[in-house]
Amino acid sequence: MQNTPSFTVAIVGATGAVGQELLQLLHQRKFPMATLRLFASARSAGKVVECAGTRYTVEEAKPGVFGDVDVAFFAAGGSVTRALAPDAVKAGCLVIDKSSALRMQPDVPLVIPEINPEQLRTHRGIIANPNCSTAVTLMGLWPLHQAFGLKRYFAATYQSVSGTGAEAVRELDAQVHALVNAQPVVKKVYPYQIAFNCIPQVDTFGSDGYTGEENKMMLESRKIMGLPNLKVSTTCVRVPVVRAHSIAVNAEFERPVSVEAARKAIAEFPGAELVDDQAGRKYPTPLDFSRQVKCGVGRIRIDTAFDNGLAFWVSGDNLWKGAALNALQNAELMAREGLLKPKKKAAA
């Protein structure tokens, strides 16, 4: 990222799963940082975290700490965002937020840089990151919308336990070991055993029978794609996979479709990698697309229930494109285009 200034960067929620991914990605992708500050709860304050040969001392996230911060990545949940984001914005800090707290507010842009980067210019101090399943799904759906004009879609998700957090990853590991060794299974995170099982509930149920996660996919797809009347129906399922979400999508389009044209649209889209070779039994899997920048799209075929319909499968890293990477890509784009500016000239 040449010819861009250096910034004072903060991660709020630095000790959590997404915060740790952000820490690694900031260094790996060489984001232009003059200073990096790590914030977390009072319980984690004073903890030392090492990355890329540098040791960072975690500070308590509280009002008044953002005075010198140019951009803060919030990865600590909605309650922290609601409590601290206004203070950060008041201090002149750009907030890029992972939580769902502000996504649907009309004055908060909800941005995937491959889809609606123009919305970055409309922010009033806060940019929201989409839900992990929405982000992965749209990496396959958006290029097809551009080619054929999306009318509606149905989706079933296969969501990894890392989407719930580090404790859920530990629970899956512990349950697998317990079952292999004929020991009792302990359930703390999920209402059912997750090892060797599937749980058709992600988030809490609403009065309509859909979960919060399922409604997020509908509402966020509409906002990001600029399709306020888009019809969406989803079933979100937690599966015993550590990392990366997968989604089976059935979509209906306004214009005639073909598998050849769909494959071409996916292959040319910067956020996706086409992996679609039936003869060679090649298609995306969560293992293949863990810690990958792009999301894999395959199993593309004509949908037999829709007119002008396509069915496909997409896999992508929920902690990267679904969270940390997407947030960082937004910041990188803003830095390149001069939309992100340091409060003062950073020390060399």
Task: Give me the active site residues, please.
Answer: 132, 245
103 is in an annotated binding site: yes
Query: How close are the terminal C-alpha atoms of the chain, in Å?
Result: 16
Q: How far apart, in whole angstroms, are the C-alpha atoms of residue 39 and residue 95?
A: 14
Element (H, E) at 170: helix 166-180
Q: How far apart, in whole angstroms, are the C-alpha atoms of residue 4 and residue 206?
A: 46
159 is in an annotated binding site: yes
Q: What are phi and psi of 320, to 5 degrees?
A: -100, -85
291 is in an annotated binding site: no
44 is in an annotated binding site: yes
18 is in an annotated binding site: yes
329 is in an annotated binding site: no
316 is in an annotated binding site: no
| DSSP-H helix ranges across 181-324 | 212-225, 259-268
- Per the CB < 8 A criterion, the answer to whether 258 and 243 are in contact is no
Tokens 């906002």, located at residue? 223
Tokens 């037999």, located at residue? 304
- Per the CB < 8 A criterion, the answer to whether 230 and 149 are in contact is no
255 is in an annotated binding site: no
Q: How far apart, in whole angstroms, are the C-alpha atoms of residue 75 and residue 98?
A: 5
Q: How far apart, in whole angstroms, are the C-alpha atoms of residue 201 and residue 213?
A: 9
176 is in an annotated binding site: no
* Residue 244 DSSP SS3: coil
Q: How far apart, in whole angstroms, are the C-alpha atoms of residue 153 and residue 229?
A: 12
298 is in an annotated binding site: no
**Torsion over CA: 235, 208, 228, 89 (sign):** negative
Summarize the annotated binding site for NADP(+) as residue ranges.
Answer: 15-18, 43-44, 162-163, 318
Summarize the annotated binding site as residue ranges.
Answer: 15-18, 43-44, 103, 159, 162-163, 238, 318
Summarize the annotated binding site for substrate as residue ranges.
Answer: 159, 238
